[in-house]
Amino acid sequence: MEQRKAATTAKLRRMKETGNPISVITAYDYPSAMLAEEAGVDAILVGDSLGNVVLGYDSTIPVTLDDMIYHTRSVVRAAQSTFIITDMPFMTYHGSIDQTLHNAARIMQEGLAKSIKMEGGREIADAVRACTMAGIPVMGHLGLTPQSIHQIGGYKIQGKNSAQAQQLLDDAKALEQAGAYAIVLELVTEQLAAHITEQLSIPTIGIGAGPRCDGQVLVFHDALGYGSDLAPKRFVKTYADAGSLIRNGLKQYVNEVKSRTFPTKEHAFLMEDEVAGALYGSAKK
């Protein structure tokens, strides 16, 4: 079978132009990325939601650049035919432009991602521009930006009043002008997301932003009911109950080991009868 070609930033833009919705899912390791690629997603985001759903932190803030690189490498190994985007973690793009470029280069060279993602608007436009000019594709992220959760004061809908809505639109335009090839819109009202989507020539990828963005992203563990202990969110659709399947499988495994139902002879490897007999006597064959 011919190997599928990974999407490119140009392809994602064409998808917007032709009204072909862009599907994105997060993944953080080899098996999740392999399954995502097999399902045919257009792009995989190695999100710093890694902190919440894999590493057990209560926010994305403790996630380090080394964490992101380590997880990106395993995702890339599994999904060679998928466009892979990696989050720049907390405070890795707010220092000097040199530091930002150095950190972004590590994600591309050591992690082998195809693109980076940064949270923020006008205040990060210089960082976006510098990376883009250095040949690193940048995805923006506006609305609820989890790395600023302590400043925002909780996971709430953004852009509800006209001043905030105007600011978000200005931020989106600033990111586009700085060279971003796409923008995630997280937890913004449907009307604002639709308006920003119309105003930009680059694609918008929504999460909790309604049905009128150019694409959609979900967190792997949320979409599959897999081990996430976060409260169910209204904007998430759960497509499988992987958590229950795994929990039931593990309970059965424990029960079978305790009851000596597993392993049985069927799962064992035997010596030749003569060797076993000579070593241990016929009783232990």
Active site positions, annotated: 186
Interior CA angle at 60 toward 56 and 62, to 5°? 75
Q: What are the phi and psi torsion angles at 142 (to 5°)?
A: -125, 170
Minimum distance, C-beta of residue 218 to ligand KIV, in the bound complex (Å): 8
272 marked ligand binding residue = no
Decide: 98 and 127 in contact? Cβ < 8 Å.
no
Q: Which is nearer to ligand KIV, 2 or 229 (CB)?
A: 229
- Residues 219, 64: Cα–Cα separation, whole Å: 19
Minimum distance, C-beta of residue 208 to ligand KIV, in the bound complex (Å): 9
Sort 279 into a burial class: Cβ within 10 Å, 0-12 / 13-18 / 19+: exposed
Minimum distance, C-beta of residue 87 to ligand KIV, in the bound complex (Å): 5
Dihedral sign computed on CA atoms, order 16, 22, 28, 31:
negative
CB atoms within 10 A of CB 101: 17
Q: Which is nearer to ligand KIV, 48 or 176 (CB)?
A: 48
**Is there binding between residue 124 and ligand KIV (CB under 6 A)?**
no
Choices 46-54, 75-83, 151-159, 270-278; region in contact with ligand KIV by CB under 6 A: 46-54
Minimum distance, C-beta of residue 205 to ligand KIV, in the bound complex (Å): 7
Q: What are the phi and psi torsion angles at 23 (to 5°)?
A: -105, 125
Residues in binding contact with ligand KIV, number by CB under 6 A: 12
- Residues 175, 143: Cα–Cα separation, whole Å: 13
DSSP H or E segment with residue 186: strand 182-186
Residues 60-79 that bind ligand KIV (CB under 6 A): none
**Is there binding between residue 147 and ligand KIV (CB under 6 A)?**
no
Report the residue from 37, 42, 67, 87 that binds ligand KIV according to the rule CB under 6 A: 87
Query: Which residues pair with residue 204 across a beta bridge?
Result: 183
87 marked ligand binding residue = yes
Residues 165-224 that bind ligand KIV (CB under 6 A): 184, 186, 207, 217, 219
Q: Which is nearer to ligand KIV, 37 or 48 (CB)?
A: 48
What one-character-per-residue DSSP string does 84-144 give? EEEE--TTSSSS-HHHHHHHHHHHHHTS--SEEEEEBSGGGHHHHHHHHHTT--EEEEEES
Report the residue from 15, 22, 26, 200 that binds ligand KIV according to the rule CB under 6 A: 26
274 marked ligand binding residue = no
Q: Which residue ranges make up the annotated binding site?
A: 48-49, 87, 117, 119
Interface ranges with ligand KIV (CB under 6 A): 26, 45, 47-49, 87, 141, 184, 186, 207, 217, 219
Binding residues for Mg(2+): 48, 87, 119
Sequence ranges of the binding site for 3-methyl-2-oxobutanoate: 48-49, 87, 117
